[in-house]
Chain A
Amino acid sequence: KAGVTQTPRYLIKTRGQQVTLSCSPISGHRSVSWYQQTPGQGLQFLFEYFSETQRNKGNFPGRFSGRQFSNSRSEMNVSTLELGDSALYLCASSPDWTSGRAITDTQYFGPGTRLTVL
């Protein structure tokens, strides 16, 4: 079974621009979560989507947004980029943690998108 895929793998943008990152979950997985990883802050939760609905949102400004499509694929967008947005953006999918079955809680991560803001 193919893993989580993320595109693009690398991006270089300048301050003020916007960027869209894409994530394709493991086939059959319905939940997609996004994280930002930086050396200083570690892995920080951005948002989680399930069945095209945002189920949880982290403590990030409104410049960060996302959506999920009917095929479970997800995109996240960052507008008006700042230097501090430079990070590894990770997407993770899980079958569905609301089902109550313990086995569905595990999240599987993609390789990430490395965003550099100049």
Chain B
Amino acid sequence: EDQVTQSPEALRLQEGESSSLNCSYTVSGLRGLFWYRQDPGKGPEFLFTLYSAGEEKEKERLKATLTKKESFLHITAPKPEDSATYLCAVRSGNTPLVFGKGTRLSVIA
């Protein structure tokens, strides 16, 4: 059974203080790993898709990396508007997406 564990559950950063969010996964054969951002009361917003170990993708202050066991979402010099819950999900074979519980990020000005 596919499993996704995200850590930490919550993270509080000062504006400009860079950090990383972790997503550890167990799958029988990774088809894709997905990162989403979710603001309170809204649907998840797609950020990145990673397919193979060693792959990296960047978007503004965010950079996602992938190894065979985990993915990191690096946030460089975060701003208050980066505050949100970040969700990680995996898909293996023909199975549905399996989501982690998310990391709730707060960036304080």
Query: Taking beta carbons and an 8 Å cutoff, which residues of A are in contact with B?
Result: 4, 33, 42-43, 45, 48, 55-56, 58, 88, 90, 92, 97-98, 102, 105-112, 114
Query: Taking beta carbons and an 8 Å cutoff, which residues of B are in contact with A?
Result: 31-32, 34, 36, 41-46, 49, 51, 87, 89, 91, 94-102
What's the nearest-Cβ distance from chain A to residue B57, in Å?
A: 12
Q: Of residues B43, B51, B91, which shows the largest number of chain A Cβ atoms within 10 Å of its Cβ? A: B43
A110 to B36, CA, bound (A): 13
Q: In the complex, what residues of B have CB within 8 A of residue A92's CB?
A: 43
Q: In the complex, what residues of B have CB within 8 A of residue A105's CB?
A: 31-32, 34, 49, 91
Q: In the complex, what residues of B have CB within 8 A of residue A58's CB?
A: 96
Q: In the complex, what residues of B have CB within 8 A of residue A48's CB?
A: 96
Supposing A43-B87, A90-B43, A111-B42 touch, asked if A106 and B96 sit within 8 A by C-beta, the answer is no
**Residue in A45, A55, A102, A112 whose CB lies within 8 Å of B51:** A102
